[in-house]
Amino acid sequence: MEKISQYLTTNPNVTFNLNITPWALDHAADSDITISANATYQGYRERDLLLVRREIMQSPFVVVASPDYLTRQNTPTSPSELIQHQCLFATTLTGSNDWVFHQNNECQIIKVPKSLEVNDSDLLLQATLNGAGIAYLPAFLVDDYINRGEITPILEDFDTSVWSLNVYYQPPATASAVAIHFKDFLLS
Protein backbone atom coordinates (compact mmCIF):
# COMPACT_ATOMS: atom_id res chain seq x y z
CA MET A 1 0.00 0.00 0.00
CA GLU A 2 2.91 2.33 0.62
CA LYS A 3 3.89 2.38 -3.07
CA ILE A 4 0.27 2.96 -4.17
CA SER A 5 -0.10 5.79 -1.66
CA GLN A 6 3.11 7.40 -2.88
CA TYR A 7 1.97 7.10 -6.48
CA LEU A 8 -1.42 8.63 -5.76
CA THR A 9 0.14 11.71 -4.13
CA THR A 10 1.86 12.61 -7.42
CA ASN A 11 -0.82 11.18 -9.75
CA PRO A 12 -4.18 12.13 -8.18
CA ASN A 13 -6.22 11.46 -11.35
CA VAL A 14 -5.32 7.75 -11.43
CA THR A 15 -7.73 5.28 -9.86
CA PHE A 16 -6.94 1.84 -8.49
CA ASN A 17 -9.19 -1.17 -8.04
CA LEU A 18 -7.49 -3.55 -5.61
CA ASN A 19 -8.81 -7.08 -5.45
CA ILE A 20 -7.00 -9.08 -2.76
CA THR A 21 -7.48 -12.76 -3.49
CA PRO A 22 -5.31 -15.87 -3.49
CA TRP A 23 -6.59 -16.57 -7.01
CA ALA A 24 -5.35 -13.33 -8.59
CA LEU A 25 -3.91 -15.09 -11.62
CA ASP A 26 -7.37 -16.33 -12.55
CA HIS A 27 -8.21 -12.68 -13.35
CA ALA A 28 -4.80 -11.47 -14.51
CA ALA A 29 -5.79 -11.14 -18.18
CA ASP A 30 -8.53 -8.67 -17.15
CA SER A 31 -6.17 -6.43 -15.15
CA ASP A 32 -3.52 -3.91 -16.06
CA ILE A 33 -1.23 -5.17 -13.31
CA THR A 34 -1.53 -8.22 -11.07
CA ILE A 35 0.61 -8.94 -8.04
CA SER A 36 0.58 -12.58 -7.05
CA ALA A 37 2.53 -14.88 -4.77
CA ASN A 38 3.13 -18.55 -5.39
CA ALA A 39 5.23 -21.47 -4.25
CA THR A 40 7.61 -22.98 -6.76
CA TYR A 41 9.93 -25.94 -6.75
CA GLN A 42 12.33 -27.56 -9.20
CA GLY A 43 10.22 -28.79 -12.09
CA TYR A 44 7.33 -26.37 -11.43
CA ARG A 45 5.77 -24.96 -14.61
CA GLU A 46 3.62 -21.88 -14.47
CA ARG A 47 0.77 -21.70 -16.95
CA ASP A 48 1.27 -19.30 -19.84
CA LEU A 49 -0.81 -16.19 -19.19
CA LEU A 50 0.58 -14.27 -22.19
CA LEU A 51 1.73 -11.64 -19.71
CA VAL A 52 5.13 -10.38 -18.65
CA ARG A 53 6.17 -11.68 -15.21
CA ARG A 54 8.71 -9.94 -13.02
CA GLU A 55 9.76 -11.45 -9.70
CA ILE A 56 10.09 -8.81 -6.99
CA MET A 57 10.79 -11.00 -3.96
CA GLN A 58 11.49 -14.61 -3.05
CA SER A 59 11.93 -16.54 0.16
CA PRO A 60 12.45 -20.24 0.86
CA PHE A 61 9.91 -22.01 3.04
CA VAL A 62 10.94 -23.03 6.55
CA VAL A 63 9.33 -25.84 8.54
CA VAL A 64 8.66 -24.50 12.03
CA ALA A 65 6.93 -25.38 15.29
CA SER A 66 6.75 -23.82 18.73
CA PRO A 67 9.05 -25.15 21.46
CA ASP A 68 5.85 -26.10 23.35
CA TYR A 69 4.62 -28.28 20.48
CA LEU A 70 8.04 -29.93 20.10
CA THR A 71 8.11 -30.67 23.85
CA ARG A 72 4.75 -32.46 23.58
CA GLN A 73 5.61 -34.33 20.35
CA ASN A 74 8.69 -35.96 18.91
CA THR A 75 10.58 -33.64 16.58
CA PRO A 76 10.42 -35.10 13.07
CA THR A 77 13.82 -35.91 11.56
CA SER A 78 12.57 -36.68 8.04
CA PRO A 79 9.72 -35.26 5.96
CA SER A 80 7.88 -38.60 5.93
CA GLU A 81 7.41 -38.31 9.71
CA LEU A 82 5.21 -35.23 9.18
CA ILE A 83 2.21 -37.47 8.48
CA GLN A 84 2.23 -38.35 12.22
CA HIS A 85 1.98 -34.68 13.25
CA GLN A 86 -0.52 -31.88 13.36
CA CYS A 87 0.33 -29.86 10.27
CA LEU A 88 -0.88 -26.33 9.65
CA PHE A 89 -1.00 -24.88 6.17
CA ALA A 90 -2.30 -22.00 4.13
CA THR A 91 -3.56 -22.82 0.67
CA THR A 92 -2.75 -19.22 -0.25
CA LEU A 93 0.95 -19.98 0.29
CA THR A 94 1.34 -23.47 -1.16
CA GLY A 95 -1.84 -24.12 -3.13
CA SER A 96 -2.46 -27.40 -1.27
CA ASN A 97 -1.26 -29.50 1.63
CA ASP A 98 1.71 -30.75 -0.43
CA TRP A 99 5.05 -29.75 1.11
CA VAL A 100 8.14 -30.11 -1.08
CA PHE A 101 11.56 -31.20 0.20
CA HIS A 102 14.87 -31.65 -1.65
CA GLN A 103 17.96 -33.47 -0.50
CA ASN A 104 20.81 -35.10 -2.45
CA ASN A 105 19.16 -34.40 -5.84
CA GLU A 106 15.96 -36.13 -4.73
CA CYS A 107 12.61 -34.44 -4.41
CA GLN A 108 9.93 -35.57 -1.96
CA ILE A 109 6.41 -34.18 -2.02
CA ILE A 110 4.70 -34.96 1.26
CA LYS A 111 0.93 -34.66 1.56
CA VAL A 112 0.68 -33.49 5.16
CA PRO A 113 -2.40 -34.04 7.34
CA LYS A 114 -4.98 -31.26 7.13
CA SER A 115 -4.98 -30.51 10.86
CA LEU A 116 -5.58 -26.79 10.26
CA GLU A 117 -6.09 -25.08 6.92
CA VAL A 118 -6.31 -21.29 6.73
CA ASN A 119 -6.19 -18.77 3.90
CA ASP A 120 -4.02 -16.23 5.70
CA SER A 121 -0.32 -16.55 6.57
CA ASP A 122 -0.66 -14.36 9.68
CA LEU A 123 -3.29 -16.72 11.10
CA LEU A 124 -1.04 -19.65 10.29
CA LEU A 125 1.86 -18.00 12.10
CA GLN A 126 -0.31 -17.27 15.15
CA ALA A 127 -1.50 -20.88 15.32
CA THR A 128 2.13 -22.03 15.12
CA LEU A 129 3.21 -19.65 17.87
CA ASN A 130 0.31 -20.96 20.00
CA GLY A 131 1.60 -24.54 19.70
CA ALA A 132 -1.11 -25.92 17.40
CA GLY A 133 1.33 -27.81 15.17
CA ILE A 134 3.99 -27.67 12.48
CA ALA A 135 3.85 -25.08 9.69
CA TYR A 136 5.56 -24.48 6.34
CA LEU A 137 6.08 -20.72 6.11
CA PRO A 138 8.29 -18.35 4.09
CA ALA A 139 11.50 -17.45 5.91
CA PHE A 140 10.82 -13.71 5.82
CA LEU A 141 7.71 -14.29 7.96
CA VAL A 142 9.39 -16.42 10.61
CA ASP A 143 13.03 -15.30 10.85
CA ASP A 144 12.44 -12.80 13.68
CA TYR A 145 10.42 -15.36 15.68
CA ILE A 146 13.15 -17.96 15.18
CA ASN A 147 15.83 -15.48 16.32
CA ARG A 148 13.81 -14.74 19.49
CA GLY A 149 13.30 -18.47 20.18
CA GLU A 150 9.50 -18.26 19.86
CA ILE A 151 9.45 -20.92 17.13
CA THR A 152 11.99 -23.52 16.13
CA PRO A 153 13.03 -24.51 12.60
CA ILE A 154 13.01 -28.24 11.93
CA LEU A 155 14.09 -30.45 9.02
CA GLU A 156 16.86 -27.95 8.27
CA ASP A 157 18.87 -30.53 6.31
CA PHE A 158 16.25 -30.34 3.54
CA ASP A 159 15.70 -27.62 0.94
CA THR A 160 12.11 -26.56 0.41
CA SER A 161 9.90 -24.81 -2.12
CA VAL A 162 10.44 -21.12 -2.73
CA TRP A 163 7.74 -18.52 -2.12
CA SER A 164 7.90 -15.74 -4.67
CA LEU A 165 6.06 -12.48 -5.17
CA ASN A 166 5.56 -11.55 -8.81
CA VAL A 167 4.17 -8.67 -10.82
CA TYR A 168 2.30 -9.63 -14.00
CA TYR A 169 1.53 -7.03 -16.62
CA GLN A 170 0.57 -6.64 -20.26
CA PRO A 171 3.40 -6.46 -22.81
CA PRO A 172 4.34 -2.86 -23.71
CA ALA A 173 2.64 -3.14 -27.10
CA THR A 174 -0.78 -3.70 -25.48
CA ALA A 175 -0.43 -1.98 -22.08
CA SER A 176 -1.93 1.43 -21.39
CA ALA A 177 0.39 4.38 -20.80
CA VAL A 178 -0.88 4.71 -17.21
CA ALA A 179 -0.21 1.01 -16.51
CA ILE A 180 3.31 1.29 -17.92
CA HIS A 181 3.99 4.41 -15.84
CA PHE A 182 2.79 2.76 -12.61
CA LYS A 183 4.62 -0.50 -13.35
CA ASP A 184 7.86 1.44 -13.85
CA PHE A 185 7.25 3.32 -10.58
CA LEU A 186 6.45 0.08 -8.73
CA LEU A 187 9.55 -1.71 -9.98
CA SER A 188 11.95 1.21 -9.52
Q: How confident is the model at residue 47 (pLDDT cuts 50, 70, 90)?
A: low
The reported pLDDT for the residue numbered 4 is 83
Lowest mean pLDDT among 8-17, 32-41, 113-122: 32-41
Mean pLDDT of the chain: 87
Closest CA to 125 of 113, 140, 147, 142: 142
Closest residue by Cα to residue 34 from 188, 149, 179, 163? 179
Q: Give the three-state DSSP class for 37.
A: strand
Contacts of 96 (CB under 8 A, 6+ apart): 111
CB hemisphere CA count around 67 (13 angstroms): 6
pLDDT tens digits, 148-165: 999 999 999 999 999 888
**Alpha carbons 135 and 73: distance in angstroms, whole number:** 14
Between CA 119 and CA 89 the distance in angstroms is 8
Give the confidence band of 38 by pLDDT, cuts at 50, 70, 90. confident
Of 20-34, 134-148, 157-171, which one has max mean pLDDT? Answer: 134-148
For 71-101, how does the pLDDT look when each residue is reduced to its tens digit (9 = 90+)?
A: 999 999 999 999 999 999 987 788 788 999 9
Residue 134 and residue 88 in contact, taking contact as beta carbons nearer than 8 Å: yes
